């Protein structure tokens, strides 16, 4: 298997074990932040969003579900991002895992499916090599990363909220990707909800946002995939997205939302200062570099995904 398309055995887990030993949450709101990708300006904005909620009387818990590292290939930025993120509740993404626990032959650890162009895969592998070289200068941070779990189950409002990076079978699984929902994955979803017994699954990893609500054996279930907090997700829109879960409405206007078990599950935009981040990005990743080729256009222009296509079953 080509590096970057393989999935190390250590990434695998059993859906039936994912809700064991859950942690009870006392806060009023969860911000689940996936795919920060080393963007400090997005992190600044997320912290400001949480403060705005708290001024409205909403206690906010920040939960990072992986890949908070990626573009931060400098010593100063690597330390800044990790020290700030690790003050919160965190589970690993494949990028973070491969920094702390490199797997021979895994490359970037993304387990890219066949529909992803091979050039993207090879550039991601080169990015990982550079980031691993940076991370190697910070053994204290790598030690902290190595102690993090691959997933978490939280009890929020009496509900089981499973927070993971890929899907319920793998740290780098694509079963909760936008493309998977577009292809119709209801049977697989139902099996995961039956096996785990959770009410809501919150994921990231696959870079495009998804909201889904349905019933499994008469039980209401939902999925939220925020896409990426640190870069654009929608057509002509450079803002990142995070998943907000709460019994109250968000302070800011979401791009999409669903309701499940009385919870508001929304995707909130992260409107960080794009020009400031582009200036920093260009210093880190010059034109023609792997990251610039793969990601700079997306940072500026977002993707081709329309907001009305986020919620599945897709709106007509």
Reported as a single tens digit per residue, the pLDDT across 98-112 is 999 987 776 776 778
Report the candidate in 23, 30, 31, 12 with the shortest Cα–Cα distance to residue 242: 31
Q: Measured between alpha carbons, how far is 133 from 72 in angstroms, rounded to an integer? A: 12
More confident residue, 178 or 8: 178
> What integer pLDDT is reported at residue 109 of this predicted model?
67
Q: State residue 23's pLDDT score.
A: 97
Pairing of strands 219-226, 29-33: unpaired
68 band by pLDDT with thresholds 50, 70 and 90:
very high
CA distance to 203, 235, 285, per residue, from 299 (Å): 21, 11, 13
Q: Distances in Å between the alpha carbon of 138 and those of 27, 52, 108, 133, 135?
A: 32, 33, 19, 10, 5
The DSSP secondary structure of 252-284, one letter per residue, reads SPPSEEEEETTEEEEEEEE---HHHHHHHHHHH
- Residue 4: its pLDDT value, please? 62
List, in sequence order, every residue forming a beta bridge with 138; answer none if it has no partner: none
- Judged by average pLDDT, the poorest of 54-68, 176-190, 237-251 is 176-190
How confident is residue 315, by pLDDT bands cut at 50, 70 and 90?
Answer: very low
Give the CA dihedral 94, 38, 3, 9, nearest 10 degrees: -10
Inform me whether the pLDDT recorded for 313 exceeds 80.
no
pLDDT at 316 over 60: no
pTM > 0.85: yes or no? yes
């Amino acid at each position: 298997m080509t590096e970057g398309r393989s999935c190390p055995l250590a990434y695998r887990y059993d859906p039936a074990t994912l809700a064991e030993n859950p942690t009870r949450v006392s806060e009023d709101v969860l911000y689940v932040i996936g795919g920060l990708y080393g963007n400090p300006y997005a992190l600044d904005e997320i912290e400001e969003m949480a403060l705005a909620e708290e001024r409205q009387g909403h206690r906010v818990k920040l939960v990072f579900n992986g890949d908070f590292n990626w573009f931060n290939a400098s010593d100063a930025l690597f330390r800044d991002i990790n020290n700030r993120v690790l003050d919160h509740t965190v589970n690993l993404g494949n990028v973070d895992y491969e920094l702390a626990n490199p797997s021979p032959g895994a490359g970037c650890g993304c387990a890219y499916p066949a529909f992803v162009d091979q050039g993207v895969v090879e550039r991601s592998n080169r990015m990982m090599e550079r980031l691993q070289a940076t991370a190697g200068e910070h053994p204290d941070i790598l030690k902290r990363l190595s102690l993090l779990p691959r997933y978490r189950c939280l009890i929020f409002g009496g509900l089981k909220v499973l927070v993971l990076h890929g899907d319920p079978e793998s740290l780098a699984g694509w079963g909760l990707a936008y493309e998977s929902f577009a292809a119709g994955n209801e049977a697989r979803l139902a099996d995961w909800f039956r096996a785990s017994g959770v009410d809501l699954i919150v994921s990231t990893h696959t870079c495009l946002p998804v909201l889904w609500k349905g019933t499994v054996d008469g039980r209401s279930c939902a999925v939220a995939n925020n896409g990426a907090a640190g870069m654009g997700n929608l057509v002509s829109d450079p803002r990142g997205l995070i998943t907000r879960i709460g019994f109250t409405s968000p302070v800011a206007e979401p791009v999409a939302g669903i309701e499940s078990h009385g919870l508001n599950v929304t995707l909130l935009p992260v409107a960080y200062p794009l020009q400031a981040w582009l200036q920093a990005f260009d210093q880190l990743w010059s034109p023609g570099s792997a990251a610039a080729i793969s990601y700079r256009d997306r940072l500026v222009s977002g993707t081709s995904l329309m907001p009305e296509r986020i919620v599945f079953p897709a709106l007509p």
